[in-house]
């Protein structure tokens, strides 16, 4: 057990019993407990296997490379339409977790075997996401912006492209782009402070 995770659990109010039940399962599987991104994460030889999270309507155990799992019980959910590798299982009661304990352990062991084998999900390249015309024009007009954007990690590039593209109107896309130009120039992602 990790003291930082102990502290996390001491502050949790909603879903505490459920998250603690999931914690026991993860530790029973021999995973190392860490606090990453302000949530309990469980790793195998430094590689992320699962994370636990509490939300408003449910809590979850999330598999970082869940898309690679066979999922014979069809319990894994995709968090969002743009999520590539991650999958999670939702819970609202300790009883649900207790009933699924053998299945969850089997999924965790499968995830560990996938890590041991070095299998990685096929990554989506930033170029697979269309760059809106308004942003393409800005990149062409300002070489420094183009250089700064190219220097961002693929995930940060993807996040900007998705956010800019999601606006329905050109005016809104343009306003979003203008707002984030300083952040791109400083090498930060859309969610970086």
pLDDT grade, residue 119 (50/70/90)? confident
Task: Tell me what the mean pLDDT of segment 80-91 comes to.
Answer: 86
Mean pLDDT value of segment 173-191? 93
CA distance 150 to 161: 12
Residues 132, 134, 136, 137: what is their CA dihedral angle, to the nearest 10 degrees?
A: 160
pLDDT at 156 over 70: yes
Residue 45: name the closest of 102, 103, 118 by CA: 118
Per-residue model confidence (pLDDT) at position 125? 66
Mean pLDDT of the chain: 91
Span 8-30, average pLDDT: 94
High-pLDDT (> 70) share of the chain, %: 97
Phi-psi region for residue 2, left (φ > 0), alpha (ψ -120 to 50) or beta?
beta
Whether the Cβ atoms of residue 49 and residue 108 lie closer than 8 Å to each other: yes
Is residue 1's pLDDT more than 80? no
Question: pLDDT for 43-66, tens place per residue?
Answer: 999 999 999 999 999 999 999 999
Least confident of 65-74, 138-147, 161-170, 174-183: 161-170
* CA 111 to chain CA mean position, Å: 16
pLDDT at 126: 61
Q: What is the mean pLDDT of residues 58-84?
A: 90
Cα dist. 137→171, 174, 186 in Å? 14, 10, 20
pLDDT for res 80: 78
Kindly tell me if the per-residue pLDDT of 98 is higher than 70. yes
Q: Which residues touch 42 (CB under 8 Å, ≥6 apart)?
A: 26, 27, 29, 31, 32, 33, 34, 48, 49, 50, 51, 52, 108
SS3 87: strand
CB 84 within 8 A of CB 5: no
Which residues of the chain form CATH 3.90.1150.200?
3-117
Average pLDDT over residues 147-156: 90
Eight-class DSSP state of 77: B
pLDDT in tens, 33-46: 999 989 999 999 99
Q: What is the CATH number of domain 3-117?
A: 3.90.1150.200
The share of the chain scoring above pLDDT 90, in percent, equals 73
């Amino acid at each position: 057990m990790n003291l930082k995770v102990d502290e996390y659990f001491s502050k949790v109010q909603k879903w505490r019993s459920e998250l603690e039940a999931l914690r026991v399962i993860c530790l029973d599987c021999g995973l190392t407990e860490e606090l990453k991104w302000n949530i309990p994460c469980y790793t195998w030889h430094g590689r992320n296997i699962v994370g636990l999270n509490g939300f408003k309507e449910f809590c979850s155990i999330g598999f970082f490379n869940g898309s690679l799992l066979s999922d014979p019980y069809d319990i894994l959910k995709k968090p969002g339409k743009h999520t590539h590798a991650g999958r999670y299982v939702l819970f609202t009661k300790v009883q649900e977790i207790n009933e699924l304990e053998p299945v969850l352990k089997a999924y965790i062991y499968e995830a560990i075997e996938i890590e041991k084998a070095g299998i990685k999900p096929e990554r989506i390249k930033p170029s697979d996401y269309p760059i809106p015309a308004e942003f393409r024009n800005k990149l062409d007009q300002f070489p420094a912006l183009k250089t700064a954007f190219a220097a961002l990690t693929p995930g940060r590039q993807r996040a900007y492209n998705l956010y800019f593209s999601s606006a329905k109107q050109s005016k809104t896309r343009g306003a979003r782009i203008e707002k984030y130009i300083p952040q791109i120039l400083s090498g930060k992602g859309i969610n970086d402070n």
